[in-house]
Amino acid sequence: MNTPTSPAEPHGFASLALSPQTLANLTQLGYTQMTAIQAAALPPALLGKDLIAQAKTGSGKTAAFALALLANLNPRRFAIQAMVLCPTRELADQVTTEIRRLARAEENIKVVTLCGGVALRGQIASLEHGAHIVVGTPGRIMDHLERENLDLSALNTLVLDEADRMLDMGFFDDIVKVARQCPSARQTLLFSATYPEGIAKLAQQFMKNPEQIVVQAQH
Ligand code: ADP
Ligand code: MG
């Protein structure tokens, strides 16, 4: 099932269907070549496919899903169009920072972080002001959904980041519940460093014919 992918040639971002502003911003950020996981995941992700992408820590997985969700996003539509589930608050903060860096050349794109350990009230106020992207932990996102603070009716991209760690932390049921509250006509991108058994089970629950990508550790 797994197709090892190890591109022999360096890949620039210019071959991708990204806006000129985004391409210029990537150059400014010093992102001159795609990493192996970006080169393997971005073309099918930009075609709208569901993905299960596996690559080690530090391989650039965040930009692989962030560029795909930003390409799906209409900045003029002030509604939650993408959601990223992360295992911890630290990782959610890192993902939020990276999405903001990658989105800074676009029109104002608002990202709200929803994690536990923070008062609900401030998060509710942020949601009431409106957001394009939500990044958070499954437990707190489920909490907001149960309280009907989160409208996911315009969502078109759901990302599970560090899915293996979320499973280790016992988030299987929350992830399934959150996914069931998303519109079924959406893209789901799952990223993980390893491939424990629970990932295939998650995929069976709510992914559509996912393409599986494995980038072996570089040496
Ligand atoms: P992972 O999620 O796979 O652990 P990250 O997305 O956190 O990896 O990326 C690791 C580091 O690599 C970050 O500092 C990020 O800014 C940088 N990075 C990602 N993609 C590129 C690229 N194409 N060119 C240069 N640096 C990159
Ligand atoms: Mg990561």
Domain locations in the chain? 34-214
Would you say the CB of residue 62 lies under 6 angstroms from ligand 1? yes
Would you say the CB of residue 31 lies under 6 angstroms from ligand 1? yes
* pLDDT of 1 strictly over 50: no
Q: What is the rounded distance in angstroms from the CA atom of residue 215 to the CA atom of residue 205? A: 24
What is the pLDDT averaged over residues 117-130? 95
Q: What is the rounded distance in angstroms from the CA atom of residue 131 to the CA atom of residue 207? A: 25
Q: What is the rounded distance in angstroms from the CA atom of residue 188 to the CA atom of residue 145? A: 19
Instruction: Please report, to the nearest 10 degrees, the dihedral formed by the alpha carbons of residues 159, 53, 194, 84 taken in order.
Output: -10
Q: Note the ipTM here.
A: 0.99
Q: Which residues sit with Cβ closer than 5 angstroms to ligand 2, an ion?
A: 61
pTM of the prediction? 0.95
Would you say the CB of residue 217 lies under 6 angstroms from ligand 1? no
pLDDT tens-place string over residues 85-118: 999 999 999 999 999 999 998 879 999 999 999 9
Domain covering 34-214, topology: Rossmann fold (3.40.50)
Would you say the CB of residue 123 lies under 6 angstroms from ligand 1? no
Question: Are the C-beta atoms of residues 159 and 84 closer than 8 Å to each other?
Answer: yes
pLDDT tens-place string over residues 168-182: 999 999 999 999 999
